[in-house]
Amino acid sequence: MKILIVEDEASIAEVVSAYAKREGYETVCASDGLSALEIFFHDDIDLVILDIMLPKLNGEEVCRRIREKSSVPVIMLTAKSSESDVVSGLDSGANDYVSKPFSPRVLMARIRAQLRPRETRDNIASGVFADGKIEIDPERVEIRKDGVPVPVTKSEFLIFSTLVSRPIRTWSREEIIRTAFGDDYDGFDRTIDTYIKNLRKKLAEPGHENGWIKTIYGFGYRFDDEK
Ligand code: CA
C-alpha cells in the first residue's frame, strides 16, 4: 500500500517515511500543496498524511480538492492544535488529526486504523487458497504468495480478495467494482483492467503466468486456481 506524505519540513517527512516503510508501506513525498495534488491524481495512493502549513497551497485546500474526487483517507499532521483548527481540518474532509510534536508510533497506529477494511465483509476472502500457495490476510490488508507478502495497493487487495472469495464465479467488471469498492469508487469500468494487469505482474509465477486471474472474454474475470 502506498502512502503520500505531504510535508515541507524534510526532517519530519524523512522520519514519517522511515517509520511507514518499516511497517511495510511504500511512501512518496511532496513538499508543497500543488505537487501533492499532482502526485495524488497520477498515482494509486491509499492514504495521505497532510501537513497544514504548506507552500503554494495549504493542507486544508489540498484536502478539499482531494475530497472532490476521492474518499482516500487523509490524516492531518500539523503544529496547529487549537480546537478551531482541528474543526476546520476535519471540515475540509480529513479523517483524522495528529498534532505536532507527535509520536511516530501513534501516527502509525492511526494509519493502520484508517487502512483496515471497515468491516471484514463476506466478499473479502480470508485464509489460505490454491493449496496453500495464496494467503489473504484482511487484518493486515496483505496478499502472501508461498508465505511471502506481495506489495499491493488497497484497491488491488480488494479486487483480488473479491475474486478469491468466490473461486468458481466469473465476475463482470461492474460486479467487481460494486463488490470491492461499494460506493467509494468513482473510476470507469475499464480501470479494473489496469488493476488486474498490475496484480498479474505482481502475482505471476511459472504455471500461473496469469497471476491466478483468468480472463473470461466478453464477460470479466475469475480466480484461477486450476493446477
Ligand atoms: Ca509545514
What Å distances lie between residue 175 and 168, 179, 180, CA to CA? Answer: 15, 6, 8
Alpha carbons 50 and 77: distance in angstroms, whole number: 6
Determine the distance separating the centroid of ligand 1 and the alpha carbon of 112, expressed in angstroms.
Answer: 23
Determine the distance separating the centroid of ligand 1 and the alpha carbon of 124, expressed in angstroms.
Answer: 38
Determine the distance separating the centroid of ligand 1 and the alpha carbon of 196, expressed in angstroms.
Answer: 37
Most confident region among 75-89, 120-134, 205-219 by mean pLDDT: 205-219
Taking only the tens place, the pLDDT of each residue in 126-141 is: 788 888 889 998 888 8
Residue 93 grid coordinates: 474532509
Taking only the tens place, the pLDDT of each residue in 153-193 is: 888 999 999 998 877 788 988 888 888 887 666 667 778 89
Name the pTM for this structure: 0.58
Determine the distance separating the centroid of ligand 1 and the alpha carbon of 106, expressed in angstroms.
Answer: 19
Q: Which residues contact 140 (CB under 8 A, 6 or more apart)?
A: none
Determine the distance separating the centroid of ligand 1 and the alpha carbon of 197, expressed in angstroms.
Answer: 37
Determine the distance separating the centroid of ligand 1 and the alpha carbon of 12, expressed in angstroms.
Answer: 9
Determine the distance separating the centroid of ligand 1 and the alpha carbon of 50, expressed in angstroms.
Answer: 9
Q: For 157, phi and psi rounded to 5 degrees?
A: -60, -50
Determine the distance separating the centroid of ligand 1 and the alpha carbon of 17, expressed in angstroms.
Answer: 16
Determine the distance separating the centroid of ligand 1 and the alpha carbon of 110, expressed in angstroms.
Answer: 20
Beta bridge partners of 29: 5
Handedness of CA 125, 155, 142, 47 (dihedral sign): negative
| pLDDT higher than 80, residue 103 | yes
Tell me which H or E stretch contains 36. Answer: helix 33-40
Determine the distance separating the centroid of ligand 1 and the alpha carbon of 31, expressed in angstroms.
Answer: 9
51-84 exposure pattern, b = at least 16 Cβ within 10 A, e = fewer:
bbebeebbbbbbbebbeeebebbbbbbbebeeee
Q: Which DSSP category does 210 fall into?
A: T
Q: Which residues contact 182 (CB under 8 A, 6 or more apart)?
A: none
Mean pLDDT lowest among 118-122, 125-129, 146-150: 118-122
Determine the distance separating the centroid of ligand 1 and the alpha carbon of 49, expressed in angstroms.
Answer: 12
Half-sphere exposure at residue 177, Cβ-oriented, CA atoms within 13 angstroms: 16
What percent of the residues of the chain are helix, what percent strand, and what percent coil, each to the nearest 5?
A: 40, 20, 40
Determine the distance separating the centroid of ligand 1 and the alpha carbon of 53, expressed in angstroms.
Answer: 4
pLDDT band at 202 (very low <50, low <70, confident <90, very high): very high
Q: Are 65 and 37 in contact (CB under 8 A)?
A: yes
Average pLDDT over residues 192-204: 93
Mean pLDDT across the chain:
86
pLDDT given for residue 227 in this prediction: 57
